[in-house]
């Protein structure tokens, strides 16, 4: 079958590079000495502290740009690491200051996905390993405490709390190639989906979460945890921060098969979408023999082909203040193999949908391969400023401006 396409969502099918000759940005090493870092997460309770997730199973603490000796958590004994497996995600809930909770996503020794809850000790930079609770994914609300992964690749792994306070969990399609069991389009499967759950439950709750009543598939044959269908391997997604003037939209970097990498844009609260994998790769037919869970299929707002890169790393809509004003509202993203770009987002006031334009490449001005290496993730600090995670070089690089904005709040003193 040939899927129906959503009309009105702009797709850039040609990857036309626009060179910014002004070279306004540069990269500055913020912290280094990490082993295969995959995430840089701001501490919501201390503006000077961040956490760096290492693929091997350690979570490191950075305070004021200095890497601390003691780990926040060391999960190496429980994690299988390498390839696309490992400790893959970390997120703090909105009420982290009061309940001291933290959530992690990792591949266990059997190769399955575990989303676990921990609690901080009285020292907020030390996690209590004994407080571990694995969320329970059984259909009846009970065990197992893991999500079965049939292959070693396409684990997803990102964890993000949305502006609505719910935890969003992006899961890949289970691996292999071309989603052989059509999991991303099967409602009884959690794989190939974006999940949305409410983890604001008591410690005594046997499952560790409840289903938000407005989840789009509650009361249907599909798993009620599902927010969106049709993802291949959502390698980093984020929300356009409404507390800084953003739209609250969910922006997803979804890794392609052999031809196209894509960016999906979802207006705030607009779940229940089908992003098309594996019937579609980017804006193109892929496995047309597979059956869609439902129509229409939502096209990406941007794609690039494998003459340019091979594995997208999703980023953030910039809402900080250090970069020139023209960068506010632009979406920064990368290819894992060492290129960084940003695109302008034009939002339709009546629909909330976005179109992408004005592609800029920032690789050279951020220092190129010597500085940013293979890019596994982005992060933002307490001020909304942007950081690039160099996976192979073990460093965190802050994106800064060559021409910093003028100081504010000045007054003439006679």
- 269: which residues sit within 8 A by CB, 6+ positions away? 164, 248
CA angle 185, 188, 193 (to 5 degrees): 50
Rounded CA separation 293/192 (Å):
12
Confidence category of residue 409, pLDDT binned at 50, 70, 90: low
Q: What token pair was written down for 171?
A: 């899961």
In three-state secondary structure terms, 242 is: helix
In this predicted structure, the answer to whether residue 121 has a pLDDT above a threshold of 70 is yes
C-alpha to C-alpha distances, 242 to 43, 130, 248, 259, 268, nearest whole angstrom: 18, 35, 5, 34, 10
Higher pLDDT, 18 or 372: 372
- List, for residues 268-281, the tens digit of each pLDDT value: 999 999 999 999 99
- The pTM is what? 0.94
Residue pLDDT, tens place only, 57-91: 999 999 999 999 999 999 999 999 999 999 999 99
Contact 287, 278 (CB under 8 A): yes
Cα–Cα distance for residue pair 116/131, rounded to 1 Å? 10
Q: Does pLDDT of 92 surpass 80?
A: yes
What tokens appear for 110 in the block? 């059997």
Q: Who's near 160: CB < 8 A, 6+ residues apart? A: 91, 167, 168, 237, 238, 239
Q: How far apart are CA 121 and CA 8, in angstroms?
A: 50
Q: Are 145 and 78 in contact (CB under 8 A)?
A: no
Whether pLDDT at 12 is above 50: no
> 374: Cβ–Cβ under 8 A, 6 or more apart, which residues?
336, 337, 338, 390, 391, 392, 393
- Check pLDDT > 50 for residue 19: no
Other beta carbons within 10 angstroms of residue 197's beta carbon come to 22
- Give me the chain's average pLDDT, please: 93
Question: 3-class secondary structure for 30-67?
Answer: EEECCCCEEEEEECCCCCCEEEEEECCCEEEEEECCEE
Contact 87, 113 (CB under 8 A): no
Domains of the chain: 25-401 (2.120.10.30)
Cα separation, 88 vs 117, in Å, equals: 14
For position 47, what pLDDT does the model report? Answer: 98
| C-alpha closest to that of 370 among 383, 356, 388 | 388
Report the 10 Å Cβ neighbour count for 30.
Answer: 20
Q: Which residue has the higher pLDDT, 17 or 267?
A: 267
Pairing label, strands 37-42, 25-32: unpaired
Q: 106 near 145, Cβ under 8 Å?
A: no
pLDDT at 358 > cutoff 70: yes
Per-residue pLDDT tens for 194-214? 999 999 999 999 999 999 999
Taking each continuous run of H as one helix and of E as one strand, the counts in the chain are: 2, 27
């Amino acid at each position: 079958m040939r899927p129906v396409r959503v009309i009105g969502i702009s797709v850039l099918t040609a990857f036309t590079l626009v060179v910014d000759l002004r070279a306004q940005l540069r990269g500055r090493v913020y912290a280094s000495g990490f082993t295969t870092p995959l995430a840089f997460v701001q501490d919501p309770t201390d503006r000077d502290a961040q956490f760096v997730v290492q693929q091997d199973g350690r979570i490191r603490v950075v305070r004021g740009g200095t890497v601390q000796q003691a780990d926040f958590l060391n999960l190496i004994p429980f994690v299988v690491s390498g390839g696309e497996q490992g400790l893959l995600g970390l997120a703090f809930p909105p009420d982290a200051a009061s309940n001291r909770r933290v959530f992690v996503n990792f591949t266990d020794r059997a190769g399955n996905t575990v989303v676990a809850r921990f609690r901080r000790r009285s020292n907020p930079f030390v996690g209590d390993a004994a407080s571990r609770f694995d969320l329970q994914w059984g259909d009846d609300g009970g065990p197992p405490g893991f999500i079965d992964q049939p292959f070693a690749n396409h684990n997803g792994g990102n964890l993000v709390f949305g502006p609505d306070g719910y935890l969003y969990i992006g899961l890949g399609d289970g691996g292999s190639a071309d989603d052989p069991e059509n999991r991303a389009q099967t409602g009884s499967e959690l794989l190939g989906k974006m999940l949305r759950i409410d983890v604001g439950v008591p410690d005594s709750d046997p499952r560790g979460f409840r289903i938000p009543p407005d989840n789009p598939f509650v009361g249907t044959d599909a798993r009620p945890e599902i927010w969106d269908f049709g993802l291949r391997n959502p390698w980093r997604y984020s929300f356009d921060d409404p507390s800084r003037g953003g739209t609250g939209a969910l922006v997803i970097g979804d890794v392609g098969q052999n031809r196209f990498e894509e960016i999906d844009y979802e207006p705030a609260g607009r779940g229940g979408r089908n992003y098309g994998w594996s019937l579609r790769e980017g804006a193109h037919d892929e496995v047309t023999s597979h059956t869609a869970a439902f129509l229409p299929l939502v096209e990406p707002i941007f794609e690039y082909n494998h003459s340019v890169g091979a594995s997208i790393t999703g980023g953030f809509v910039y809402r900080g203040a250090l970069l020139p004003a023209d960068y506010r509202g632009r979406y920064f993203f990368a290819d894992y193999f060492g290129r960084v770009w940003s695109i302008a987002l034009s939002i339709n006031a009546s629909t909330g949908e976005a179109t992408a334009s004005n592609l800029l490449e920032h690789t050279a001005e951020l220092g190129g391969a010597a500085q940013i290496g293979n890019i596994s993730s982005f992060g933002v600090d307490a001020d909304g400023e942007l950081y690039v995670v160099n996976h192979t070089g073990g460093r965190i690089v802050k994106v800064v401006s060559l021409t910093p904005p003028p100081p504010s709040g000045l007054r003439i003193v006679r």
